[in-house]
Amino acid sequence: MTIRQLKTYFFTNAIRNHFGSRPSRRHQLQLSIWLTNGNQQAMPIVASISKEISQPHLLIKGTSCLSGQVEISGAKNSALVLMTAGLLTDERIKLGNVPDLTDVTGMANILTSMGVKLQRDSDSLEIQANEISHVELPYELVHGLRASFFCIGPLLARLGKAKIPLPGGCRIGARPVVEHIKGLTSLGALVNVSHGEVTASITGTRKKLQGADVILDCPSVGATETILMASVLAEGKTTIENAAQEPEVQDLAKMLNLMGAKVHGAGGPKITIEGVEHLKGCEYSVIPDRIEAGTFLIAAAITGSSIKVSPVIPEHLSAVLQKLRDCGCDIEIINNSVKITPGEIRGVDITTQPFPGFPTDLQAPFMALLSTARGTSVVTEKIYENRMQHVSELQRMGAAIRVQSNTAIIEGVAELSAAPVTGGDLRSTAAMVLASLAARGTSKVEGLHHLDRGYSALEAKLNNLGAQILRIGSQDNY
């Protein structure tokens, strides 16, 4: 179906909603004449339709079959931290495979506000932080981007001070920065939290942070990355025990080592850092986004479609691929690509865990799949305490789910029904898109400001595979 045909289809639906039924040919002709002549009688109808489509949203016609290959973008959670690592040197950093996301734009705006020079060209980003003019981050840029807090480590390490408002981001749980602060304090920083701001500095006669042994109470990805960046320019040796093992931590360590750092053990529970005097510039490519890849694999499974995703690093997807196999999908790994061929989807149990366990960021999308699986599934969320916001929206589409604390029990249904739904965070909005692909009828999905934070051109990529999705509002594709 062409974009013009999609526009006609969805516009007809909007008229149907106004008239209460499918508009007759007389109604359609009359409206066409009114619109052509600017007749005032058309204005209430146009206003009604305009109001309906004024909020950015996706209109998704369900039950389409997908096929083909989809290109996976660079990892959001890696790109953001690598951008802040550019603050550690006065030399040029050139990042490749940088995804086109609103979060990346937000981080770019934060760096620019500090005097960092940036140049974007397609998926590459040059960072030149030789003249940092401000170490105080503006609240209006920080409050919606949790990753902004990553700046505190590099600023402390290189300039000895930083002042950052407490960050925002998706409302999926507390996600406190206590572990970050404890780690920085262990390295010799004086950290004060007051009136919603974190102020950190190096005190006394020492001009650098000091190496130390840091033991994290939980393997926090953000805390591991913050302490890692703070310690590469510290005096002496630092160890981080109970460190996060996620691929994004490994990616950061690889780039830091390319810049001249001495980081060992990233990807394991203990990381050792030998501080160096200076870091140099480098060129580095962001790893593929394992969460985006997982989302497309689930999209194939929920629509009963065979597709190939590439490029990926299969080891980053091990837990997800195993669960897809368990629920009835055939998985074929070919070099840096994964081909999925679904069978009958059956229920499985999932518990989110830190890497290499099942990722919390794919819990909501996988629950959409399990809503249509044969049998009963149990999904337990162990990472965040408020990550079941998608359940009520899936229930609106006919899913049979009940929640007990942080556990959801899903009884698979034969079919989901289209409905207007809203995603409350990034991954729950993705789950609404996936559920809509499988639902009977046309769904309206709101919450695109969340979706655009972590998925680059999601609807365009799905349309290239055969989906029928139209974006209305911001970033229109027509």
Quickly tell me which residue has 């309206």 as its tokens: 444
Closest C-alpha to 306, from 333, 341, 278, 282: 341
Instruction: Categorize the per-residue pLDDT at 389 as very low, low, confident or very high, splitting at 50, 70 and 90.
Output: confident
Count the residues in the chain.
478
Instruction: Categorize the per-residue pLDDT at 120 as very low, low, confident or very high, splitting at 50, 70 and 90.
Output: very high
pLDDT tens-digit series, residues 298-334: 999 999 999 999 999 999 999 999 999 999 999 999 9
Residue 315 makes CB contacts below 8 A (sequence gap 6+) with none
Taking residues 164-177, report their average pLDDT. 61
State residue 118's pLDDT score: 98
Taking residues 280-308, report their average pLDDT. 98
Instruction: Categorize the per-residue pLDDT at 16 as very low, low, confident or very high, splitting at 50, 70 and 90.
Output: low
Please tell me the distance from the alpha carbon of residue 76 to that of residue 288, in angstroms, as a whole number. 9
SS3 letters across the chain: CCHHHHHHHHHHHHHHHHHCCCCCHHHHHHHHHHHHHCCCCHHHHHHHHHHHHHCCEEEEECCCCCEEEEECCECHHHHHHHHHHHHHCCCEEEEECCCCCHHHHHHHHHHHHCCCEEEEECCEEEEECCCCCCCECCHHHHCCCHHHHHHHHHHHHHHCEEEEECCCCCCCCCCCCHHHHHHHHHCCEEEEEECCEEEEEECCCCCCCECCEEECCCCCHHHHHHHHHHHCCCECEEEEECCCCCHHHHHHHHHHHHCCCEEECECECEEEEECCCCCCCEEEECCECHHHHHHHHHHHHHCCCEEEEECCCHHHHHHHHHHHHHCCEEEEEECCEEEEEECCCECCEEEECCCCCECHHHHHHHHHHHCCCECEEEEECCCCCCCCCHHHHHHHCCCEEEEECCEEEEECCCCCECCEEECCCHHHHHHHHHHHHHCECEEEEECHHHHHHHCCCHHHHHHHHCCEEEEECCCCCC
Please tell me the distance from the alpha carbon of residue 391 to that of residue 401, in angstroms, as a whole number. 7
Q: Looking at the predicted structure, is the pLDDT value of residue 367 above 80?
A: yes
pLDDT tens-digit series, residues 460-476: 999 999 999 999 986 54
CATH topology of domain 57-73+289-472: UDP-n-acetylglucosamine1-carboxyvinyl-transferase; Chain (3.65.10)
Q: Looking at the predicted structure, is the pLDDT value of residue 193 above 60?
A: yes
Which class does domain 76-285 fall in?
alpha beta
Instruction: Categorize the per-residue pLDDT at 37 as very low, low, confident or very high, splitting at 50, 70 and 90.
Output: low
Instruction: Categorize the per-residue pLDDT at 145 as very low, low, confident or very high, splitting at 50, 70 and 90.
Output: confident
Q: Which of 151, 170, 327, 329 is catalytic?
A: 170
Please tell me the distance from the alpha carbon of residue 471 to that of residue 7, in angstroms, as a whole number. 10
Taking residues 245-259, report their average pLDDT. 98
State residue 191's pLDDT score: 95
Q: Looking at the predicted structure, is the pLDDT value of residue 1 above 70?
A: no
Give the residue with greater pLDDT, 448 vs 3. 448
Same-fold call for 57-73+289-472 versus 76-285: yes
State residue 478's pLDDT score: 31
Q: Looking at the predicted structure, is the pLDDT value of residue 35 above 50?
A: no
State residue 205's pLDDT score: 82
Closest C-alpha to 313, from 284, 288, 286: 288
Instruction: Categorize the per-residue pLDDT at 242 as very low, low, confident or very high, splitting at 50, 70 and 90.
Output: very high
Q: Looking at the predicted structure, is the pLDDT value of residue 172 above 50?
A: no
Could you give the C-alpha distances from 122 to 78, 98, 125, in angstroms and in order?
Answer: 18, 8, 8
Q: What letter represents residue 299's amino acid?
A: A
Please tell me the distance from the alpha carbon of residue 470 to that of residue 283, in angstroms, as a whole number. 37
Domain ranges of the chain: 3-54, 57-73+289-472, 76-285
State residue 83's pLDDT score: 98
327 part of the active site: no
Taking residues 166-176, report their average pLDDT. 53
Cα–Cα–Cα angle for 261, 193, 175, rounded to 5 degrees: 70
Side by side, the strands of the sheet bearing 376-380 are 349-351, 376-380, 407-411, 400-404
Q: Looking at the predicted structure, is the pLDDT value of residue 9 above 70?
A: no
Range of weakest confidence among 1-5, 17-21, 95-99, 373-377: 17-21
Please check whether residue 350 is in contact with residue 357, taking contact to mean a CB–CB distance below 8 angstroms. no
Average pLDDT value over all residues in the chain? 89
Q: Looking at the predicted structure, is the pLDDT value of residue 53 above 60?
A: no
Class of residue 454 by CB neighbours under 10 A (exposed 0-12, middle 13-18, buried 19+): buried
